[in-house]
Structure 1
Protein backbone atom coordinates (compact mmCIF):
# COMPACT_ATOMS: atom_id res chain seq x y z
CA UNK A 1 0.00 0.00 0.00
CA UNK A 2 1.45 3.34 -1.09
CA UNK A 3 0.65 6.28 1.17
CA UNK A 4 0.97 10.03 0.76
CA UNK A 5 4.04 12.01 1.75
CA UNK A 6 3.04 13.69 5.03
CA UNK A 7 5.41 16.57 4.27
CA UNK A 8 3.32 17.62 1.26
CA UNK A 9 2.77 21.39 0.92
CA UNK A 10 -0.72 22.59 1.81
CA UNK A 11 -2.52 23.87 -1.32
CA UNK A 12 -4.06 27.34 -1.52
CA UNK A 13 -7.45 27.23 0.18
CA UNK A 14 -6.60 24.00 1.96
CA UNK A 15 -6.48 23.35 5.69
CA UNK A 16 -3.70 21.34 7.32
CA UNK A 17 -4.27 19.01 10.28
CA UNK A 18 -1.07 17.77 11.96
CA UNK A 19 -3.06 14.91 13.54
CA UNK A 20 -4.36 13.78 10.14
CA UNK A 21 -0.83 13.87 8.75
CA UNK A 22 0.40 11.75 11.67
CA UNK A 23 -2.31 9.11 11.81
CA UNK A 24 -3.38 8.57 8.19
CA UNK A 25 -0.87 5.80 7.55
CA UNK A 26 -1.87 3.78 10.63
CA UNK A 27 -5.60 4.21 9.94
CA UNK A 28 -5.23 3.18 6.31
CA UNK A 29 -3.07 0.22 7.23
CA UNK A 30 -5.88 -1.06 9.44
CA UNK A 31 -8.67 -0.20 7.02
CA UNK A 32 -6.92 -1.97 4.15
CA UNK A 33 -7.31 -5.27 6.00
CA UNK A 34 -11.09 -4.82 6.40
CA UNK A 35 -12.27 -3.04 3.26
CA UNK A 36 -13.23 -4.99 0.12
CA UNK A 37 -10.77 -5.05 -2.76
CA UNK A 38 -13.13 -2.87 -4.80
CA UNK A 39 -15.96 -0.63 -3.69
CA UNK A 40 -17.25 2.72 -2.51
CA UNK A 41 -16.51 4.37 0.84
CA UNK A 42 -18.33 7.36 2.31
CA UNK A 43 -16.22 9.35 4.76
CA UNK A 44 -18.24 11.38 7.26
CA UNK A 45 -16.81 14.65 8.64
CA UNK A 46 -13.78 14.62 6.33
CA UNK A 47 -12.46 17.89 7.76
CA UNK A 48 -9.36 19.13 5.97
CA UNK A 49 -9.57 16.35 3.37
CA UNK A 50 -6.13 14.91 4.10
CA UNK A 51 -7.47 11.49 5.08
CA UNK A 52 -9.57 11.35 1.91
CA UNK A 53 -6.61 12.21 -0.30
CA UNK A 54 -4.33 9.72 1.44
CA UNK A 55 -6.98 6.99 1.19
CA UNK A 56 -7.66 7.59 -2.51
CA UNK A 57 -3.93 7.58 -3.19
CA UNK A 58 -3.33 4.35 -1.26
CA UNK A 59 -6.46 2.38 -2.17
CA UNK A 60 -6.61 2.65 -5.94
CA UNK A 61 -9.67 0.41 -6.39
CA UNK A 62 -11.78 2.14 -3.76
CA UNK A 63 -13.83 5.20 -4.67
CA UNK A 64 -13.48 7.45 -1.65
CA UNK A 65 -16.34 9.91 -1.22
CA UNK A 66 -15.44 12.71 1.18
CA UNK A 67 -18.16 14.74 2.91
CA UNK A 68 -18.58 17.43 5.54
CA UNK A 69 -21.25 19.92 6.66
CA UNK A 70 -18.80 22.83 6.90
CA UNK A 71 -18.26 25.13 3.88
CA UNK A 72 -14.69 25.74 5.06
CA UNK A 73 -13.99 22.00 5.18
CA UNK A 74 -15.58 21.44 1.77
CA UNK A 75 -13.37 24.17 0.33
CA UNK A 76 -10.31 22.54 1.88
CA UNK A 77 -11.22 19.08 0.58
CA UNK A 78 -11.67 20.52 -2.90
CA UNK A 79 -8.32 22.34 -2.66
CA UNK A 80 -6.47 19.12 -1.76
CA UNK A 81 -8.38 17.26 -4.46
CA UNK A 82 -7.64 19.82 -7.17
CA UNK A 83 -3.98 19.93 -6.20
CA UNK A 84 -3.75 16.13 -6.43
CA UNK A 85 -6.31 14.91 -9.01
CA UNK A 86 -7.22 11.25 -8.59
CA UNK A 87 -9.91 9.34 -10.51
CA UNK A 88 -11.24 7.67 -7.33
CA UNK A 89 -11.66 10.91 -5.34
CA UNK A 90 -14.88 12.64 -6.51
CA UNK A 91 -16.01 16.11 -5.47
CA UNK A 92 -16.99 16.28 -1.79
CA UNK A 93 -20.60 16.17 -0.65
CA UNK A 94 -22.25 18.37 1.93
CA UNK A 95 -23.52 15.82 4.46
CA UNK A 96 -24.67 16.74 7.98
CA UNK A 97 -25.34 13.96 10.48
CA UNK A 98 -27.97 16.12 12.19
CA UNK A 99 -29.73 16.87 8.88
CA UNK A 100 -31.24 13.73 7.29
CA UNK A 101 -32.26 15.75 4.23
CA UNK A 102 -28.53 16.00 3.34
CA UNK A 103 -27.88 12.25 3.52
CA UNK A 104 -27.04 10.42 0.28
CA UNK A 105 -29.39 7.74 -1.01
CA UNK A 106 -26.92 5.35 -2.61
CA UNK A 107 -25.41 2.26 -1.00
CA UNK A 108 -21.79 2.26 0.20
CA UNK A 109 -19.56 -0.67 1.09
CA UNK A 110 -18.21 1.21 4.10
CA UNK A 111 -18.63 4.36 6.19
CA UNK A 112 -15.57 5.92 7.81
CA UNK A 113 -15.77 8.54 10.55
CA UNK A 114 -12.54 9.89 12.06
CA UNK A 115 -12.52 12.23 15.07
CA UNK A 116 -16.10 13.44 14.80
CA UNK A 117 -18.03 11.80 17.64
CA UNK A 118 -16.36 13.75 20.45
CA UNK A 119 -16.47 17.09 18.57
CA UNK A 120 -20.20 17.08 17.87
CA UNK A 121 -23.47 16.77 19.81
CA UNK A 122 -24.74 13.28 20.58
CA UNK A 123 -27.41 13.81 17.90
CA UNK A 124 -24.63 13.56 15.30
CA UNK A 125 -23.73 10.08 16.54
CA UNK A 126 -27.39 9.08 16.43
CA UNK A 127 -27.51 10.35 12.86
CA UNK A 128 -24.33 8.51 11.91
CA UNK A 129 -25.75 5.19 13.10
CA UNK A 130 -29.07 5.81 11.37
CA UNK A 131 -27.25 6.63 8.13
CA UNK A 132 -25.07 3.53 8.44
CA UNK A 133 -28.14 1.38 8.91
CA UNK A 134 -29.64 2.96 5.81
CA UNK A 135 -26.77 2.91 3.29
CA UNK A 136 -24.64 -0.10 4.30
CA UNK A 137 -25.44 -3.52 2.84
CA UNK A 138 -25.34 -6.67 4.96
CA UNK A 139 -21.72 -7.14 5.99
CA UNK A 140 -20.95 -3.47 5.30
CA UNK A 141 -18.30 -1.78 7.45
CA UNK A 142 -18.56 1.15 9.83
CA UNK A 143 -15.15 2.37 11.03
CA UNK A 144 -14.72 4.88 13.87
CA UNK A 145 -11.50 6.44 15.12
CA UNK A 146 -10.87 8.73 18.06
CA UNK A 147 -10.62 8.94 21.86
CA UNK A 148 -13.33 7.27 23.97
CA UNK A 149 -14.23 6.50 27.54
CA UNK A 150 -14.16 2.74 28.14
CA UNK A 151 -15.25 0.45 30.94
CA UNK A 152 -12.27 -0.84 32.97
CA UNK A 153 -9.81 1.29 30.95
CA UNK A 154 -8.42 4.24 32.94
CA UNK A 155 -8.85 7.53 31.12
CA UNK A 156 -5.44 8.84 30.11
CA UNK A 157 -4.63 12.24 31.66
CA UNK A 158 -4.24 13.75 28.18
CA UNK A 159 -7.70 12.50 27.19
CA UNK A 160 -9.21 13.78 30.44
CA UNK A 161 -7.74 17.23 29.78
CA UNK A 162 -8.95 17.07 26.17
CA UNK A 163 -12.45 16.17 27.35
CA UNK A 164 -12.55 19.15 29.69
CA UNK A 165 -11.35 21.49 26.94
CA UNK A 166 -14.03 20.21 24.56
CA UNK A 167 -16.79 20.70 27.12
CA UNK A 168 -15.50 24.21 27.84
CA UNK A 169 -15.84 25.03 24.14
CA UNK A 170 -19.27 23.41 23.83
CA UNK A 171 -21.13 21.58 26.62
CA UNK A 172 -22.65 19.23 24.01
CA UNK A 173 -19.19 17.95 23.05
CA UNK A 174 -16.91 15.54 24.89
CA UNK A 175 -15.53 12.02 24.91
CA UNK A 176 -18.27 9.39 24.58
CA UNK A 177 -18.49 6.05 26.33
CA UNK A 178 -17.80 3.35 23.74
CA UNK A 179 -20.66 1.28 25.22
CA UNK A 180 -23.14 4.06 24.46
CA UNK A 181 -21.83 4.26 20.91
CA UNK A 182 -22.19 0.50 20.45
CA UNK A 183 -25.69 0.51 21.90
CA UNK A 184 -26.70 3.20 19.44
CA UNK A 185 -25.11 1.24 16.60
CA UNK A 186 -27.04 -1.89 17.55
CA UNK A 187 -30.35 -0.03 17.24
CA UNK A 188 -29.62 0.29 13.52
CA UNK A 189 -28.42 -3.23 12.80
CA UNK A 190 -24.71 -2.72 13.42
CA UNK A 191 -22.69 -5.24 15.41
CA UNK A 192 -19.44 -4.30 17.16
CA UNK A 193 -16.69 -6.63 15.92
CA UNK A 194 -13.28 -5.26 16.85
CA UNK A 195 -11.39 -2.73 18.97
CA UNK A 196 -7.84 -1.73 18.06
CA UNK A 197 -5.57 0.49 20.15
CA UNK A 198 -4.00 3.31 18.16
CA UNK A 199 -1.42 5.98 18.88
CA UNK A 200 -1.94 8.92 21.28
CA UNK A 201 -4.62 7.13 23.36
CA UNK A 202 -7.01 6.78 20.42
CA UNK A 203 -8.83 3.62 19.43
CA UNK A 204 -10.43 2.19 16.30
CA UNK A 205 -13.90 0.70 16.62
CA UNK A 206 -15.17 -1.57 13.84
CA UNK A 207 -18.81 -2.50 13.23
CA UNK A 208 -20.56 -4.63 10.61
CA UNK A 209 -24.12 -4.38 9.31
CA UNK A 210 -26.06 -7.54 10.09
Structure 2
Protein backbone atom coordinates (compact mmCIF):
# COMPACT_ATOMS: atom_id res chain seq x y z
CA UNK A 1 0.00 0.00 0.00
CA UNK A 2 1.53 3.38 -0.99
CA UNK A 3 2.38 5.87 1.70
CA UNK A 4 -0.08 8.73 2.19
CA UNK A 5 1.37 12.12 1.33
CA UNK A 6 -0.04 14.66 3.81
CA UNK A 7 -0.05 18.36 3.00
CA UNK A 8 0.29 21.47 5.14
CA UNK A 9 -0.80 24.79 3.55
CA UNK A 10 1.57 26.66 5.88
CA UNK A 11 4.53 24.52 4.80
CA UNK A 12 3.64 25.17 1.17
CA UNK A 13 3.49 28.94 1.75
CA UNK A 14 6.69 29.31 3.74
CA UNK A 15 8.93 26.88 1.86
CA UNK A 16 10.31 29.40 -0.63
CA UNK A 17 11.04 32.19 1.90
CA UNK A 18 12.80 29.70 4.18
CA UNK A 19 14.77 28.29 1.25
CA UNK A 20 15.93 31.80 0.35
CA UNK A 21 17.39 32.21 3.86
CA UNK A 22 18.94 28.73 3.95
CA UNK A 23 20.68 29.39 0.65
CA UNK A 24 22.35 32.42 2.19
CA UNK A 25 23.34 30.56 5.35
CA UNK A 26 24.52 27.21 3.99
CA UNK A 27 27.06 26.15 1.36
CA UNK A 28 25.89 24.62 -1.91
CA UNK A 29 26.95 21.22 -0.60
CA UNK A 30 25.79 20.47 2.93
CA UNK A 31 24.45 17.69 5.10
CA UNK A 32 21.35 18.82 6.97
CA UNK A 33 19.36 17.21 9.78
CA UNK A 34 15.75 18.38 9.93
CA UNK A 35 14.02 18.11 13.31
CA UNK A 36 10.20 17.80 13.37
CA UNK A 37 9.86 17.36 9.61
CA UNK A 38 6.08 16.99 9.85
CA UNK A 39 4.53 16.22 6.46
CA UNK A 40 7.90 16.09 4.70
CA UNK A 41 7.11 18.96 2.31
CA UNK A 42 10.08 21.07 3.36
CA UNK A 43 12.50 18.17 2.92
CA UNK A 44 11.25 17.48 -0.60
CA UNK A 45 11.17 21.16 -1.62
CA UNK A 46 14.61 22.09 -0.28
CA UNK A 47 16.29 18.96 -1.61
CA UNK A 48 14.81 19.45 -5.08
CA UNK A 49 15.99 23.07 -5.17
CA UNK A 50 19.48 22.26 -3.85
CA UNK A 51 20.75 18.91 -5.18
CA UNK A 52 24.02 19.40 -3.28
CA UNK A 53 22.21 19.25 0.06
CA UNK A 54 21.90 15.79 1.62
CA UNK A 55 18.75 16.04 3.74
CA UNK A 56 18.01 13.85 6.76
CA UNK A 57 14.36 14.26 7.84
CA UNK A 58 13.15 13.18 11.27
CA UNK A 59 10.07 13.44 13.43
CA UNK A 60 8.96 12.46 16.91
CA UNK A 61 5.60 11.21 15.61
CA UNK A 62 5.81 7.78 13.99
CA UNK A 63 2.70 8.55 11.92
CA UNK A 64 4.55 11.38 10.16
CA UNK A 65 7.20 9.06 8.76
CA UNK A 66 4.90 7.61 6.08
CA UNK A 67 4.07 11.07 4.76
CA UNK A 68 7.76 12.07 4.73
CA UNK A 69 8.54 8.86 2.84
CA UNK A 70 5.85 9.67 0.29
CA UNK A 71 7.16 13.21 -0.27
CA UNK A 72 10.77 12.06 -0.67
CA UNK A 73 9.92 9.44 -3.31
CA UNK A 74 12.42 9.77 -6.15
CA UNK A 75 14.66 12.23 -4.30
CA UNK A 76 18.16 10.76 -4.17
CA UNK A 77 19.36 13.40 -1.71
CA UNK A 78 16.67 12.84 0.94
CA UNK A 79 17.47 10.06 3.41
CA UNK A 80 14.79 7.77 4.86
CA UNK A 81 13.10 9.55 7.78
CA UNK A 82 14.20 8.75 11.32
CA UNK A 83 11.97 8.54 14.40
CA UNK A 84 13.66 11.09 16.67
CA UNK A 85 12.51 12.24 20.09
CA UNK A 86 14.22 15.59 20.72
CA UNK A 87 14.15 14.89 24.46
CA UNK A 88 16.19 11.69 24.08
CA UNK A 89 19.74 11.89 25.39
CA UNK A 90 21.22 10.36 22.24
CA UNK A 91 19.67 11.13 18.88
CA UNK A 92 19.50 8.14 16.49
CA UNK A 93 21.43 9.89 13.71
CA UNK A 94 25.06 9.88 12.71
CA UNK A 95 26.76 13.27 12.55
CA UNK A 96 28.44 15.48 11.91
CA UNK A 97 25.96 17.71 10.08
CA UNK A 98 26.58 21.11 8.52
CA UNK A 99 23.22 22.29 9.83
CA UNK A 100 20.27 21.32 11.99
CA UNK A 101 16.98 22.84 10.78
CA UNK A 102 13.83 23.00 12.92
CA UNK A 103 10.63 24.77 11.89
CA UNK A 104 7.51 25.43 13.95
CA UNK A 105 8.32 23.15 16.86
CA UNK A 106 9.19 25.28 19.88
CA UNK A 107 5.76 26.90 20.26
CA UNK A 108 3.80 23.63 20.02
CA UNK A 109 5.87 21.60 22.47
CA UNK A 110 6.84 22.01 26.13
CA UNK A 111 9.55 24.53 26.94
CA UNK A 112 11.99 21.76 27.89
CA UNK A 113 12.28 20.82 24.22
CA UNK A 114 14.18 24.06 23.57
CA UNK A 115 17.09 23.07 25.82
CA UNK A 116 16.95 19.54 24.41
CA UNK A 117 17.13 20.88 20.84
CA UNK A 118 20.20 22.93 21.73
CA UNK A 119 21.92 20.00 23.46
CA UNK A 120 21.23 17.60 20.62
CA UNK A 121 22.32 20.05 17.94
CA UNK A 122 25.56 20.71 19.82
CA UNK A 123 26.29 16.97 19.73
CA UNK A 124 25.66 16.39 16.01
CA UNK A 125 26.85 19.62 14.37
CA UNK A 126 30.29 19.89 12.80
CA UNK A 127 32.63 22.71 13.82
CA UNK A 128 31.16 25.86 12.30
CA UNK A 129 27.76 24.22 11.81
CA UNK A 130 24.50 26.09 12.31
CA UNK A 131 21.24 25.43 14.13
CA UNK A 132 18.49 27.19 12.17
CA UNK A 133 15.00 27.59 13.63
CA UNK A 134 11.88 29.09 12.08
CA UNK A 135 8.60 30.19 13.57
CA UNK A 136 6.85 32.94 15.55
CA UNK A 137 8.80 34.54 18.41
CA UNK A 138 8.29 37.26 20.99
CA UNK A 139 11.03 39.88 21.18
CA UNK A 140 11.83 42.31 23.99
CA UNK A 141 11.35 45.91 22.90
CA UNK A 142 9.43 44.93 19.77
CA UNK A 143 5.64 45.16 19.68
CA UNK A 144 4.07 41.76 19.10
CA UNK A 145 1.87 41.58 16.02
CA UNK A 146 -1.85 41.22 16.92
CA UNK A 147 -1.99 37.95 15.00
CA UNK A 148 0.79 36.49 17.12
CA UNK A 149 -0.87 37.70 20.35
CA UNK A 150 -4.03 35.85 19.34
CA UNK A 151 -2.05 32.81 18.20
CA UNK A 152 -0.17 32.67 21.51
CA UNK A 153 -3.45 32.81 23.45
CA UNK A 154 -4.97 30.04 21.36
CA UNK A 155 -1.88 27.85 21.82
CA UNK A 156 -1.93 28.25 25.61
CA UNK A 157 -5.67 27.54 25.70
CA UNK A 158 -5.05 24.25 23.88
CA UNK A 159 -2.10 23.30 26.09
CA UNK A 160 -0.69 25.43 28.94
CA UNK A 161 2.80 24.06 28.16
CA UNK A 162 2.70 25.56 24.66
CA UNK A 163 3.14 29.18 23.58
CA UNK A 164 5.25 31.51 21.47
CA UNK A 165 8.75 31.74 22.96
CA UNK A 166 10.81 34.84 23.71
CA UNK A 167 13.93 35.08 21.57
CA UNK A 168 15.88 36.12 24.64
CA UNK A 169 14.88 32.92 26.48
CA UNK A 170 15.80 30.75 23.48
CA UNK A 171 19.17 32.51 23.16
CA UNK A 172 19.83 31.84 26.85
CA UNK A 173 19.34 28.10 26.30
CA UNK A 174 21.63 28.33 23.28
CA UNK A 175 24.40 29.94 25.35
CA UNK A 176 24.22 27.05 27.81
CA UNK A 177 25.73 24.78 25.12
CA UNK A 178 28.13 27.34 23.68
CA UNK A 179 25.91 28.68 20.88
CA UNK A 180 25.19 32.30 20.14
CA UNK A 181 22.36 33.84 18.15
CA UNK A 182 24.25 34.87 15.01
CA UNK A 183 21.45 36.09 12.76
CA UNK A 184 17.76 37.00 12.97
CA UNK A 185 15.83 37.24 9.68
CA UNK A 186 12.27 38.63 9.49
CA UNK A 187 9.94 36.36 7.53
CA UNK A 188 6.41 36.65 6.10
CA UNK A 189 3.38 36.31 8.40
CA UNK A 190 5.22 37.65 11.49
CA UNK A 191 7.69 34.78 11.67
CA UNK A 192 11.47 34.82 12.13
CA UNK A 193 14.36 32.60 11.11
CA UNK A 194 17.08 32.37 13.78
CA UNK A 195 20.60 31.05 13.13
CA UNK A 196 22.66 29.82 16.08
CA UNK A 197 26.27 28.68 16.08
CA UNK A 198 29.54 28.76 17.91
CA UNK A 199 31.21 32.14 17.39
CA UNK A 200 34.47 32.14 15.46
Please give the range of the TM-score, normalised by the shorter of the 2 chains: over 0.9
- Structure with the larger strand share: 2
- In structure 1, what is the equivalent of residue 42 of structure 2? 51
* CA 1:86–1:168: 2 relative to 1, 3 Å: same
Equivalent pair of 1:136/1:209 in contact (CA under 8 Å): no
Count of residues paired in the alignment? 198
Which 5+ residue runs of structure 2 have no aligned equivalent?
none
Equivalent in the alignment of 2:4: 13
Do 2:91 and 2:120's aligned partners in 1 also have CA atoms closer than 8 Å? no
Q: TM-score when scaled to structure 1?
A: 0.90
Q: RMSD of aligned C-alpha atoms?
A: 1.3
- 1:15-71 deviations in whole A, cap 9, x for unaligned? 111011001001001101111221210000000100000011011011011000101
Question: For the structure 1 residues 44 and 181, does the alpha-carbon distance in structure 2 shift closer, same or farther, using more than 3 Å as the test?
Answer: same
2:127 alignment counterpart: 138
**4+ runs deviating over 4 angstroms:** none
Which residue number corresponds to residue 38 of structure 1? Answer: 29
Give the structure 2 partner of residue 80 of structure 1: 71
Q: Which runs of 5+ in 1 are unaligned?
A: 1-10
